[in-house]
Amino acid sequence: MKVLVYMTDDPQWHQEGLSSGSWLNSSAYSAYKGRNVNITTRDGFGEFSYDRIVEVTQRYPQSEYPAMAGFWIDNDNAYWERNGLYERIRRDRPDLMLSNNNEDTPIMDTISNEQKTGMSPGYDYPQAVYTAAPRLIEACYKLPSSGAWWYSGSNSQVDYRLNIGRYITNSGSSVKSNMAETAMVNGRFPSNQEAYNNFLNGYLNQIWESIDGTEGGGYMYGGLKPGFWNDGAHGVTTVKKNNPNLHYIHVLTRPSGSTLRVRDNGYKVSRVTNLRTGAAVSFSQSGGTVTLTGVSNWDQYDTVFKVETAGREGIHSGVVLSATASASGRAASAAGDGNYLTYWDSNKTTPVSLNFDLGSAKRVQYVGINQREDSVSYARSATEQSARIRDYRVFVSNDGTNWGSPVKTGALPSHRGVQLIDIPATTARHVRVEIRNTHAASSDSTRYKRLRVDEAWIGSAYAAPVGMSSGQSPW
């Protein structure tokens, strides 16, 4: 258990007297400072809270108070920024974490995205997150299904499916869960929350290896494709940090039947088991998809499959990328350098083309794209929308000049994680993906026409199960 010290600049709390919900006392603080300071003003409160935070850093050293982990800043204050509060904390107490609520301030270690709703499925919290990894991201949400963030005297219900789903989807997106529980009373949480905590403890123990020491699959750490699968199924994938060939599929919404199909992202699958039971699961692999069959024992909240692989295959190396438009310092080459921390930025230009030069004529089967996860994946409002590819066309050429008609035309969904564009198998030296437009509307001036790609690649052939070569029938 770690403690974050909370400080808010919300003006509704800048009142005096305990009856208003605050202990603030301007006259006492003015006497302490030797001059008049009105704490009910933004600057006055900023000065007062600045002193309180510095006092905490001085009086509670790590050696004596190891449970104190840092500060959770709820809204910035101009006084803090003018007087270098965060820089002072960094200098005096580099061991403490700084977290900011709803504002991606570069000096902060963590950005907390608070109580996001409106996504479908409702538990898939990362759909409303707008900060790209590897920034440390928190999804901050209330554990009780209704009521205040603080203890109000009520024993609010806890929606198990919603909160377990949030926890798992966050884990599957490298997002930290900050579940806000209402305060304890006489050392005990309200009984509904206590019951949920006890249940979750035992429930997660059964599948802990799929959460502990893992990253979200389908993003910058590799892994199987997450999100929307077949027959209404939905979930996320995780991948072990110390073993990039060990994956887990978390099925939070089960398919209508006994079959699950997940895009393999080029991984050769060798074995699949049900993590809770250890039972082997029948599977086949072809056409870029691993198919699990005969599944009848679906868990009510999270069915977890352990997927062992022999690495990725069928992905061309040495490909040179260029584009018809790029922002300064964000060239197309960054999308093909193997580094997900660099990215191509199209400089808000559409249509725009991303071109792949394979060096010589080679077999081409599909295009893989990881877009920058720095926007929500659905339109939360007119000014908070998805900066992801929508309509596209794919061309191939042998000389890089004559392209002919597109070999594939389509639209990508506004979904997080890796996107794969299948094309009719062909042989060519050059591949061009022409992005006609993106999902953000013009009302979102920040994201309208914005396009950023972390990594993009060309697949020569689909992966086959271990023991078979690419292109060999699994039947």
Sequential DSSP letters for 302-367: -EEEEEEEEEE-SB--S-EEEES--BTTB-GGGGGSS-TTS-EE--S-SSEEEEEEEEEEEEEEEE
Asked if the model's pLDDT at residue 26 lies above 60, the reply is: yes
The reported pLDDT for the residue numbered 472 is 44
Residue type, 386: S
Asked if the model's pLDDT at residue 470 lies above 60, the reply is: no
Q: Which of 143-152, 200-209, 220-229 has the lowest mean pLDDT?
A: 143-152
- Pair 24, 57: CB distance under 8 Å: no
Q: What is the pLDDT of residues 425-462, one digit of tens each?
A: 999 999 999 999 999 999 999 999 999 999 999 999 99
Q: What is the pLDDT of residues 138-159, one digit of tens each?
A: 898 999 988 888 777 888 899 9
Burial status of residue 126 (CB atoms within 10 A of its CB: 0-12, 13-18, 19 or more): buried
Task: Summarize the confidence of residues 361-368 as an average pLDDT.
Answer: 98
CA atoms of 170 and 138, how far apart (whole Å): 9
Asked if the model's pLDDT at residue 364 lies above 70, the reply is: yes
- Pair 80, 50: CB distance under 8 Å: yes
CA atoms of 274 and 278, how far apart (whole Å): 5
Asked if the model's pLDDT at residue 475 lies above 60, the reply is: no
* Structure tokens, 191: 């009984």
Asked if the model's pLDDT at residue 342 lies above 70, the reply is: yes
Q: What is the pLDDT of residues 306-330, one digit of tens each?
A: 999 999 999 999 999 999 999 999 9
Mean pLDDT across the chain:
92
Give the predicted TM-score (pTM) of the model: 0.89
Asked if the model's pLDDT at residue 384 lies above 80, the reply is: yes
Q: What is the pLDDT of residues 180-199, one digit of tens each?
A: 888 777 778 889 999 999 99
Task: Summarize the confidence of residues 332-360 as an average pLDDT.
Answer: 97
Task: Summarize the confidence of residues 124-128 as an average pLDDT.
Answer: 96
The reported pLDDT for the residue numbered 473 is 37
Residues 6+ apart with CB under 8 A from 61: none
The reported pLDDT for the residue numbered 466 is 83
Closest among 41, 38, 18 to 29, alpha carbons compared: 38
The reported pLDDT for the residue numbered 205 is 95
The reported pLDDT for the residue numbered 471 is 47
Q: Which of 69-73, 223-227, 329-333 has the lowest mean pLDDT?
A: 69-73
- Pair 423, 342: CB distance under 8 Å: no
Residues 6+ apart with CB under 8 A from 311: 244, 245, 267, 268
Higher pLDDT, 22 or 261: 261
Task: Summarize the confidence of residues 346-366 as an average pLDDT.
Answer: 98
CA atoms of 114 and 138, how far apart (whole Å): 8
% of the chain beyond a pLDDT of 90 = 78
Residue 398's H or E segment, with its range, is: none
The reported pLDDT for the residue numbered 1 is 65
CA atoms of 282 and 475, how far apart (whole Å): 13
CA atoms of 320 and 400, how far apart (whole Å): 12
Higher pLDDT, 5 or 447: 447
CA atoms of 290 and 463, how far apart (whole Å): 9
pLDDT band at residue 76 under the 50/70/90 scheme: confident
Task: Summarize the confidence of residues 265-280 as an average pLDDT.
Answer: 97
The reported pLDDT for the residue numbered 240 is 98
Asked if the model's pLDDT at residue 345 lies above 70, the reply is: yes
CA atoms of 21 and 12, how far apart (whole Å): 10
